Amino acid sequence: MAFKAEYIWIDGTEPTPKLRSKTKVLADGADLPIWGFDGSSTNQAEGHSSDCVLKPVFSCPDPIRGGDNILVLCEVYNADGTAHSTNTRALLTPVDEKYAAQESWFGIEQEYTFFKDGRPYGFPVGGFPGPQGPYYCGIGADEVVGRDIVEKHLDACIEAGLKISGINAEVMPGQWEFQIGPGGPLEASDHMWMARYLLYRIAEDFGVSATLDAKPAKGDWNGAGAHTNFSTRAMRESYDAIITACESLGAEGKVEEHIAGYGFGIEQRLTGLHETAPYNVYSYGVSNRGASVRIPWQVELDKKGYIEDRRPNANVDPYVVTRLITNTCCEALEK
Ligand code: ADP
Ligand code: MN
Ligand code: MN
């Protein structure tokens, strides 16, 4: 018998990369081979030498096809064996290894917005729903749309063995969130990309698209973020380490470096309104949802735990945000 392996990779779409996938049929018991694709069709190569290489790096059961079928997340390499310029995972691997002794954990809150017929799912034709207020964690057909998709996605993530830790309806109608974590930098990021794949794929069956656009509706509507929760073993044991991490993220040059890697269009989302801090001003505080970085109240009470970087956009690349935070905080904590 044979099984199906869905090879999944991150493309070169500007300004925000997208997922692509194709199916390989393999004989039972076969190893996962290296594969290739036409990079000229994914903005990853010129037409005259367009072969790109897919290298499997993480696989899990395929909850959509079921049976022995699997999902295979891949890194993209050039034909000469060097990492492709779009391969941000290759940049994270050495950082993950360098600071492995500090045992970094990430929990990423992925907000996203469903679209149908060219408008946010649940928005009336040519108009707007009632103002924000009742939708966040809402219950009932007058408050939320898309729960059937969301529940299917949650079950699929669990069945695939992904570290999904929860879901909730968000502030704008048609907007939802799932959380991945806690897990190591590579682990949480791989699981996030797989969970995104499952979201798009399952919504597809409902004729709905899911977008990570950071500002899906203009005007007085919340944007979509990817709050990134972070701790090291030291932070899980002491408040001094919590403060060191918070301070390190505000150090000279770090604010700009992080913002540049936190997703396209971040200036439009981090305006200082809608529970955000302005993108160019760094701050941290206990329970402060208007700060760049929040120390949860429980963490201040326990004098240990984790911090929440509230700045990353929904469209952030988890390989980039986890690399930046691990580098900045672990370097400071090592001293
Ligand atoms: P919020 O209160 O901001 O809505 P959520 O409950 O949505 O937070 O998400 C919190 C995330 O933090 C979860 O993904 C969870 O797995 C993660 N998390 C919990 N403890 C830690 C920790 N010690 N280090 C890193 N992440 C953590
Ligand atoms: Mn949340
Ligand atoms: Mn949050």
| Blockwise average pLDDT, block size 10, the chain, 335 residues | 97 97 97 96 87 97 98 97 97 98 98 96 92 94 96 98 98 96 98 98 98 92 96 98 98 96 95 87 94 97 98 98 98 95
Kindly report whether the peptide bond that precedes residue 120 is cis, defined as omega within 30 degrees of 0: no
> Distance, CA 109 to ligand 3 centroid (Å)?
6
Cα–ligand 2 centroid distance for 159 (angstroms): 22
> How far apart are the CA of 112 and the centre of ligand 2, in A?
12
Q: Whose CA is nearest to atom 17 of ligand 1?
A: 107
Nearest atom in ligand 1 to 181's CA: 16
> Cα(71)–Cα(59) distance, rounded to whole angstroms?
5
The b/e string for 302-330 (b: 16+ C-beta within 10 A; e otherwise) is eebbbbbbbbbbbbbbbbbbbbbbbbbbb
User: Which residue in this structure is represented by tokens 């502030």?
Assistant: 171
- Over the stretch 147-188, which tens digit does the pLDDT of each residue have? 999 999 999 999 999 999 999 999 999 999 999 999 999 999
Cα(63) to centroid(ligand 2), Å: 25
Alpha helices for the chain (secondary structure H): 89-98, 147-159, 185-204, 239-248, 254-260, 266-269, 297-302, 318-334
Distance from C-alpha of 230 to C-alpha of 62, rounded to nearest angstrom: 29
How many Å lie between the centroid of ligand 1 and the Cα of residue 263?
20
| Residues with a CB atom less than 6 Å from ligand 1 | 105-107, 109, 165-166, 179, 181-182, 227, 229-231, 236, 305-306, 308
Question: Going by CA atoms, what residue is nearest to atom 8 of ligand 1?
Answer: 109
